[in-house]
């Protein structure tokens, strides 16, 4: 804790920021964001885009179980491990987050901030199905638990897209930045 009572980040901020910037600018990340090998028929992994319809569950201000009935159809596996199949016996649950669709007329400055991955709370995901679609974002403040047996039920969940290795590194770097960020208390 520093002299004003703030907890520091638990990672090297400059190194992580440089890694995120390098992945975005040096590798043409949007050209290689997803694996191009057709449908995904292998074990689920952190960063997979899945399709299933569910409201977003939460505990509301009264302490009751509630949900946001947005009818999300696309979600991203946040996961508590990068390979869910291998760790299925370690934990019954994993984490997912709904993909929020960007508007076709999304303001340029907002879109640019998302695409440069400068936001701690949001992660830009380009469209995997249409180059004309503006894309999506994951809001790291909206994560929920899901039973792994639901994830492995082919009648309920379909994998739509799988991140490439470099986009997964970017995704993972952004998750770490969000979860281990400077806490800002007492400011």
Answer yes or no: is pLDDT of 16 > 70: yes
User: Coil, helix or strand for 170?
Assistant: helix
pLDDT tens-digit readout, 129-186: 877 788 999 999 999 999 888 888 888 888 899 999 999 999 999 998 888 776 665 4
Tell me the whole-structure pTM to 2 decimals.
0.84
Domain residue spans in the chain? 13-179
Q: How many CB atoms lie within 10 A of CB 8?
A: 11
CB 34, CB 163: distance < 8 Å: yes
């Amino acid at each position: 804790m520093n002299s004003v009572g703030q907890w520091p980040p638990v990672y090297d901020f400059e190194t992580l920021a440089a890694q995120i910037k390098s992945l975005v600018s040096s590798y043409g990340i949007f050209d290689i964001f997803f694996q191009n090998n057709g449908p995904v028929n292998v074990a689920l992994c952190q960063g997979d885009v899945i399709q299933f319809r569910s409201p977003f569950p939460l505990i509301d201000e009264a302490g009751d179980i509630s949900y946001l009935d947005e009818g999300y159809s696309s979600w991203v596996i946040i996961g508590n491990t990068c390979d869910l199949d291998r760790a299925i016996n370690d934990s019954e649950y994993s984490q997912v987050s709904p993909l929020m669709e960007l508007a076709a007329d999304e303001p340029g400055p907002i879109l640019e901030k998302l695409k440069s991955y400068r936001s701690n709370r949001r992660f830009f995901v380009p469209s995997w199905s249409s180059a004309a679609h503006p894309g999506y974002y994951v809001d790291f403040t909206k994560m929920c638990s899901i039973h792994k047996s639901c994830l492995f039920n082919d009648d309920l969940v379909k994998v739509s897209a799988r991140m490439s290795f470099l986009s997964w590194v970017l995704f993972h770097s952004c998750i770490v930045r969000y979860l281990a960020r400077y806490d800002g208390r007492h400011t």
